[in-house]
Amino acid sequence: MLIEYEAAPARVKAVYDDIRATRKTEYINNFWKALASDPATLERTWESVKAVMSPGALDPLTKELIYVAVSATNGCGYCIASHTASARAKGMTPEMFGELMAVTSLANATNRLANGYQVEIDAIFREGA
Give the footprint of a second copy on residues 55-84 (CB under 8 A). Answer: 56-58, 62-63, 65-84
Residue 37 CB, nearest approach to a second copy (Å): 6
- HEC profile for the chain? CCCCHHHCCHHHHHHHHHHHHHHCCCCCCHHHHHHCCCHHHHHHHHHHHHHHHCCCCCCHHHHHHHHHHHHHHHCCHHHHHHHHHHHHHCCCCHHHHHHHHHHHHHHHHHHHHHHHCCCCCCHHHHCCC
Residues 24-53 that bind a second copy (CB under 8 A): 27, 29-31, 34-35, 37-38, 40-41, 44-45, 48-49, 51-53
Asked whether position 22 contacts a second copy by CB under 8 A, the answer is no
Asked whether position 119 contacts a second copy by CB under 8 A, the answer is yes
Asked whether position 5 contacts a second copy by CB under 8 A, the answer is no
The one among 3, 16, 87, 104 contacting a second copy by CB under 8 A = 104
Size of the site for a second copy (CB under 8 A): 79
